[in-house]
Homo-oligomer: A and B are copies of this chain.
Amino acid sequence: MTERKVKQRTTVTIYGQQYTVVGHEPPTHVMEVAQMVDEKMREIRKRNPYLDTTRLAVLTAVNVVDEYKKLLEEHEKALKQLKRMTGDE
Protein backbone atom coordinates (compact mmCIF):
# COMPACT_ATOMS: atom_id res chain seq x y z
CA MET A 1 0.00 0.00 0.00
CA THR A 2 1.17 3.46 -0.76
CA GLU A 3 0.07 5.58 2.13
CA ARG A 4 1.28 9.02 3.00
CA LYS A 5 2.90 8.89 6.38
CA VAL A 6 2.86 12.57 7.21
CA LYS A 7 2.26 13.32 10.86
CA GLN A 8 -0.45 15.86 11.50
CA ARG A 9 -1.31 17.88 14.58
CA THR A 10 -5.00 18.27 15.29
CA THR A 11 -6.30 20.32 18.18
CA VAL A 12 -9.65 19.28 19.60
CA THR A 13 -11.76 20.33 22.57
CA ILE A 14 -13.07 17.62 24.87
CA TYR A 15 -15.16 18.48 27.89
CA GLY A 16 -13.96 22.08 27.77
CA GLN A 17 -10.24 21.27 27.56
CA GLN A 18 -7.99 21.45 24.52
CA TYR A 19 -5.94 18.46 23.37
CA THR A 20 -3.44 18.28 20.56
CA VAL A 21 -3.32 14.89 18.92
CA VAL A 22 -0.30 14.07 16.76
CA GLY A 23 -0.58 11.19 14.34
CA HIS A 24 -1.14 9.89 10.86
CA GLU A 25 -4.90 10.17 11.03
CA PRO A 26 -6.72 12.83 9.04
CA PRO A 27 -8.03 15.72 11.19
CA THR A 28 -11.65 14.75 10.40
CA HIS A 29 -11.10 11.34 12.00
CA VAL A 30 -9.48 12.86 15.10
CA MET A 31 -12.36 15.33 15.41
CA GLU A 32 -14.96 12.59 15.15
CA VAL A 33 -13.20 10.55 17.83
CA ALA A 34 -12.93 13.60 20.10
CA GLN A 35 -16.60 14.36 19.64
CA MET A 36 -17.55 10.81 20.59
CA VAL A 37 -15.46 11.03 23.77
CA ASP A 38 -16.98 14.41 24.64
CA GLU A 39 -20.52 13.07 24.12
CA LYS A 40 -19.83 9.97 26.18
CA MET A 41 -18.43 12.03 29.04
CA ARG A 42 -21.55 14.22 29.07
CA GLU A 43 -23.80 11.16 28.91
CA ILE A 44 -22.07 9.56 31.91
CA ARG A 45 -22.14 12.85 33.81
CA LYS A 46 -25.91 12.98 33.38
CA ARG A 47 -26.21 9.66 35.19
CA ASN A 48 -23.55 10.57 37.79
CA PRO A 49 -23.70 14.34 38.29
CA TYR A 50 -21.34 14.38 41.29
CA LEU A 51 -18.34 12.71 39.67
CA ASP A 52 -15.19 14.77 39.31
CA THR A 53 -13.70 15.09 35.83
CA THR A 54 -10.97 12.50 36.38
CA ARG A 55 -13.40 9.82 37.52
CA LEU A 56 -15.73 10.79 34.71
CA ALA A 57 -12.95 10.38 32.16
CA VAL A 58 -11.86 7.04 33.64
CA LEU A 59 -15.45 5.74 33.58
CA THR A 60 -15.74 6.91 29.98
CA ALA A 61 -12.66 4.86 29.13
CA VAL A 62 -14.15 1.87 31.00
CA ASN A 63 -17.33 2.25 29.00
CA VAL A 64 -15.55 2.35 25.66
CA VAL A 65 -13.26 -0.60 26.47
CA ASP A 66 -16.38 -2.57 27.42
CA GLU A 67 -17.98 -1.77 24.05
CA TYR A 68 -14.71 -2.55 22.28
CA LYS A 69 -14.48 -6.00 23.87
CA LYS A 70 -18.07 -6.79 22.92
CA LEU A 71 -17.52 -5.69 19.34
CA LEU A 72 -14.33 -7.75 19.21
CA GLU A 73 -16.28 -10.87 20.21
CA GLU A 74 -18.83 -10.20 17.47
CA HIS A 75 -16.05 -9.59 14.96
CA GLU A 76 -14.26 -12.82 15.89
CA LYS A 77 -17.51 -14.73 15.40
CA ALA A 78 -17.98 -13.16 11.96
CA LEU A 79 -14.40 -13.99 10.97
CA LYS A 80 -14.85 -17.61 12.08
CA GLN A 81 -18.00 -17.86 10.04
CA LEU A 82 -16.24 -16.39 7.00
CA LYS A 83 -13.41 -18.87 7.45
CA ARG A 84 -15.85 -21.77 7.57
CA MET A 85 -17.64 -20.55 4.43
CA THR A 86 -14.45 -20.17 2.43
CA GLY A 87 -13.28 -23.58 3.65
CA ASP A 88 -10.15 -21.86 4.86
CA GLU A 89 -9.81 -23.89 8.04
Contact = CB atoms under 8 A, between A and B. Distances in A.
Contact of A71 (B33, B54, B55, B68): B68
Centre residue among A32, A62, A82 by max chain B CB count within 10 A: A62
If over half of A's interface residues share one DSSP class (helix, strand or loop), that class is named, otherwise mixed; here it is helix
Given A71-B72, A74-B75, A82-B81, A34 B62 contact: yes
Given A75-B78, A78-B78, A17 B62 contact: no
A75 B80 CA distance: 12
Interface of A: 14-15, 17, 19, 21, 25, 29, 32-34, 36-37, 40-41, 53-55, 57-62, 64-69, 71-72, 74-75, 78-79, 81-82, 85-86
